[in-house]
Amino acid sequence: MSIKRLFDIVFSLTVIIFISPILLIIALLIKFTDGGSILFIQERPGLNGRKFKLIKFRTMHPNSDEILRNYLEKNPKAKEEWNKYRKLKTYDPRVTTIGKFLRKYSLDELPQFLNVLKGDMSIVGPRPYIEEEFEEYNIPKEVQRKLLSVKPGITGLWQVEKRNESSFMERVKMDLEYIEKQSFWLDLKIILKTIWVMLTGKGAY
């Protein structure tokens, strides 16, 4: 077992034990606000392209795809923003009231510690991409293989440097930079910065 994998397991178990009351509170808030599902589960490509089920707390309305499609059709500027960032910075009609709070402080990501324990993700790594994003942004195959050459992470370089202020292609560039420079000490530095970013909510929407 590598040092990185051992660290992932110990760190994830420790976090889950200490924040279990918070996880329960978040789950109850999501359930009682609109009665929908607590978790959002989506298939993503992981290490070497192997598919896994990413787990998050649900922050969007159940019919979020339809809401987004209708909103972008009626708002050209929002469509430009979506095409550049793959996110909506000013206003996102898909996000629930509790979802806005969870996203601001990255609390929706907490269930991904289960993905880490299972071995599908690491604490630090490239973001877990969606296959459609590779096609939409014409990411070359060799770049895709590079991005998928390591396990995706809960946090990473772009999350602590620019967070959601970065464009999609800037995120790709920083993920590639992390893969080239990755080390145990760099991971520790990113984790410490992540804690600060979560506490301040800087760059989130």
SS3 sequence, 182-194? CCHHHHHHHHHHH
Q: What is the mean pLDDT of each run of 10 residues along the chain (205 residues)?
A: 93 95 95 90 95 96 88 88 83 91 91 96 95 90 96 93 80 94 94 86 56
Partnered with residue 53 across adjacent β-strands are 43
Q: Which pLDDT score is estimated for 201? A: 64
